[in-house]
Amino acid sequence: MYCIYTNREVPQNKGNWDHVIPLSLGGSNAFCVWSDVGFNSEMGSRVDGAIANDFLVQILRQRNDARGHSNRPVEPVWRKSTMNDRPVQVKFPADVTQPIQVWDAKAGANIEEADLAGQPLTSEHRISIDDNLRFLAKVALGAGQFILQEEFRTGVDCNELRGLLAFRRSDEKTHHAVKSSKLIIAHRFDPTLANSDQGKMYQAACRRTPGTSLVIMQKHKGYLSFHLGILGEFMGSVFCPSTSSLWPISNEDQGVVLELTKGQVTRHTLLEWFKAWHDELGKEEGQGTASSDA
């Protein structure tokens, strides 16, 4: 069976099924591709795990109870924190009705809730854009294989996506490969998105349904693009140069939208999905007008 990530045939005893979007990020057992077991293990930690443990994504996971394989509830912990110049750790309990817990490292105990009121709390976090880029590349490879199969492999230079997946800023070889790539990439922190109508549209599309993870694959002349949302938040877009075989033949062929909600996958054509969104916006505007008139 073919593995899109390693670009080779992988026998059953050396492969397994990879969730294109991990369960911990709102994925589904129905959205998987065949993968080399060694690759799957490495990328599960280096790529999927890095995003799942991003402190912003952890908040989303907790809010939506996205547990993953372990089935453990998500309890974000802010380790590099200080309160009144004392080192502390901040824990957000799985039961969101409970107060946050602040562990005083020197005292070896939680600070009482009454003593937290009005106290300044500082926390340091690291967010890696490189992790985000690798994750976008991995999802684009998996989603392209899942949706288009051989048509994707022959219509797009998948080696450019594999190069982005292997990207390490400290590695001159992989860094050069990404710098010379023809991919167009917009990650979730890209400042240009704020001034781009298209960027705003895809950000809004990914936030359309809170808790839903989303893959939008769009065909347009010369490019195949993937737009990714995780649990109701936009993660980024990848535009891949494509051959003429992937250019749209009809309006119905312009793209596909996969919605992943509570382990279920719903597939739409791009046009019907955006039409439904447009109709919903129209109803909301109509209700707003009716309310103001009343």
What are the pLDDT digits (tens) for 76-96? 999 999 998 899 999 999 998
* Cβ 6 vs Cβ 145: under 8 Å: no
Query: Looking at per-residue confidence, does 232 or 286 come out higher?
Result: 232
19: closest CA among 215, 256, 160?
215
Residues 96/127, Cβ–Cβ less than 8 Å: no
**240 band by pLDDT with thresholds 50, 70 and 90:** very high
- Half-sphere exposure for 222 (CA within 13 Å, toward CB): 3
- Per-residue pLDDT tens over the stretch 124-153: 998 889 999 999 999 999 999 999 999 999
Between 122 and 192, the more confident residue is 122
Q: How confident is the model at residue 289 (pLDDT cuts 50, 70, 90)?
A: low
275 or 293, higher pLDDT: 275
DSSP state at residue 150 = H
Q: What is the DSSP letter of 56?
A: H
More confident of the two residues 117 and 33: 33
Is the pLDDT score of 56 beyond 90? yes
Alpha-carbon gap, residue 185 to 136, rounded angstroms:
9
pTM of the predicted structure, to 2 decimals: 0.90
Over range 229-245, report the average pLDDT. 94
Radius of gyration of the chain (CA): 21
What CA–CA distance (Å, rounded) separates 209 from 194?
21
Could you tell me how far CA 139 lies from the centroid of its own chain? 8
Q: Does residue 276 contact residue 229 with C-beta atoms inside 8 Å?
A: no
**Burial (0-12, 13-18, 19+ Cβ within 10 Å), 219:** buried
* Angle between the N-to-C axes of helices 129-148 and 158-165, in degrees from 0 to 180, rounded to the nearest 10: 150
At 165 the pLDDT is 93
